[in-house]
Amino acid sequence: MRVSEAAAEFLAHLTQVRRLSPATVRAYRSDLADLAAATGDAELAAVDLEALRDWLWRATQRGDARSTLARRTAAVRSFFAWAVEAGFAPVDPALRLVTPKRGRTLPAVASADAMRVLLDEARDAALDGDPIRLRDSAILELLYGSGMRVSELCGLAVDDIDLDRGTARVVGKGDKERVVPFGAPARDAVAAYLRRARPVLVARAQRSGPSLFLGARGGALGPRAVYELVARVLAPVIGAETVGPHALRHSAATHLLDGGADLRAVQEILGHASLGTTQIYTHVSAERLAASYRLAHPRA
C-alpha cells in the first residue's frame, strides 16, 4: 500500500473512529499529502527513518515554523503507529523520529480596562437598534465573557443559551460538550439581540434555522464574519496587525487568573484537555505582574 492510499484510510479513521475535529483532520491531510509528495508516493514499507528525517529537513529549509514541524512530526508518528497496528506497514519508522522543540510564544492579550472600553463602545453603538450592531455587541460580550472558541460560538443554537442561569452549552474539540458561564453584561447583550435583532434578521431569510447568531441576510453566521468583526475592533487595542477571536479567549483566561480564579476551573471553562495548555496563561499573568512592578516600584 502506498503512502497516499494509507493516508486516505488513516484520515477516515481519524474522522469516523477517533472523531477528531475537522480542523485537525485537515492539518493531518495536508501533512500526509506533503509526505506522499516528498517520498514519491512510495510503498509504506519503503519509507524509513532517514526518509522521514529528510522530509522534516526540507520543511525547515522552506522556513516552516517550529509549531508546524512539531505538528508534522506528531502527524507522521500517529500515522505510522496506526499503519502498523492495522497491518499496512511491517515496522514503525517514526518511533525514533525526534519532535522539534516548540518555541513558546505568549498569546496577545488586551488589558481589562481596554476590554471594558471596547465592549462599552460596542454596546453604545447598538443603542440605535441596528440589528447588526446589536448582534456584534452580543458576540463580543459572549466571546469575552465565556472564553469560548469561535467555532463553538458559531455552532450555538438559540436553545443552547440559558439566560436565567447565564450559561451556554457548547460543543468543543472532539465533539465534547460542556457548559460555560457568562456574566450579566453578556446576558443583557444576548437578550437584547434575541429580542430586538434576531427576529429582524430571520425575516430577511427564506428559511431560518436554529443558529443563535445570524448574518445580514438571515443565514447562520460563519467564523470568517466573526474574525472580521474581532479584527476590526480589537487589533487597534492590542496593537497587532493580525488578531482574531482567540485573542478574546486569551484575554478572558488571563483576566480570570489575574482575578484569582483556580487554574483547573479555567481549564474547565476553556475546555482544555490538558492542564498544561491552560498554564500558558499563568506565564502571561506573571509577565504582566512583573511589568507592573518594574513600572511602579522605585527600586525595580
Give the active site residues. 149, 173, 246, 249, 272, 281
Q: Note whether 100 and 240 are within 8 A (CB).
A: no
209 φ/ψ angles, rounded to the nearest 5 degrees: -105, -170
Strand ranges for 161-299 from DSSP E:
161-162, 167-171, 177-181
Q: What is the rounded distance in angstroms from the CA atom of residue 145 to the CA atom of residue 221?
A: 19
CA distances from residue 52 to 7, 45, 47, 210 in whole angstroms, order as listed? 15, 13, 7, 47
For 212, counting Cβ atoms within 10 Å of its Cβ (0-12 exposed, 13-18 middle, 19+ buried), the class is buried
* Nearest-5° Cα angle at 277, 81 to 141: 130
